Amino acid sequence: MSKPTTPSATPRRKGVKHWLREGAIILVMWIAISSAVDFWRTQDMPEAMLPNTTLQTIDGELVDLIAMSQDHPVLIYFWATWCGACRFVTPTVDWISDHYPVVSIALTSGESRRLKAYLNSHDYSFRVVNDHQGQQGRAWGINATPTIVVLKNGQVQSATTGITTPPGLWLRLLLNE
């Protein structure tokens, strides 16, 4: 003889509200954790006096980061050819360079000739400063690649490390417009 089932004994299907609530909790936790990680990784970044802000690109162009940031936010992208996460972020940075000023600083990525070949093979068109000995990276307090800094009016407005999404990157720039 089988036992009669009671309503509390039958499993209930979880509804849409449950999954939306679970998704919201995960999203809030992800934002909190990634913000804490960004804060930790960028705590050595200069706040008041920026390091050398006039740099020479691998094409011989002089760029003045402070002057560039007076009209629009400037995205400064610290990356490396050997960085695995940069392979996901660099295409987004290249796309952003069509809409905002971008200056990238390639950390310890070899000679300029090698760096140019890498950029050409991936069809990247943003400005690149070759920091082959990592001096700029150390001066800026860069602890991880990729690191993305948004500069506006000569001030660091935002800094993030690791993989970022195109909408996240676009939003950082729009908020500092």
Cα–Cα dist 42/32, whole Å? 15
Three-class SS of 48-74: CCCCCCEEECCCCCEEEHHHHCCCCCE
**Residue 93 phi, psi dihedral angles, 5° rounding:** -60, -40
Task: Provide the pLDDT confidence category of residue 23 given band limits of 50, 70 and 90.
Answer: confident
Write down the pLDDT at residue 156.
87
pLDDT tens-digit map of 104-140: 999 999 999 999 999 999 999 999 999 999 999 988 8
| pLDDT tens readout for residues 144-169 | 899 999 999 988 888 888 888 888 88
Q: What is the pLDDT of residue 112?
A: 95
Q: How confident is the model at residue 14 (pLDDT cuts 50, 70, 90)?
A: confident
Comparing 39-48, 64-73, 75-84, 145-154, the range with the smallest average pLDDT is 39-48
Task: From 58, 23, 80, 35, select the one nearest 129 (Cα to Cα).
Answer: 58
Report for 15-24, 25-34, 137-146: range of highest mean pLDDT: 137-146
Domain regions of the chain by residue span: 41-175
Hey, which CATH number is domain 41-175, 3.40.50.300, 3.40.109.10, 3.40.30.10, 1.10.533.10? 3.40.30.10
pLDDT at residue number 131: 95
Contact 105, 77 (CB under 8 A): yes
Pick the more confident residue, 141 or 98. 98
Q: Using an 8 Å Cβ cutoff, are 94 and 163 in contact?
A: no
Q: Which of 122, 161, 116 is nearest to 142 (CA)?
A: 161
Place of tokens 């307090």: 141
Q: For the segment 32-52, what is each residue's pLDDT rounded down to a tens digit? A: 665 555 555 555 555 555 777
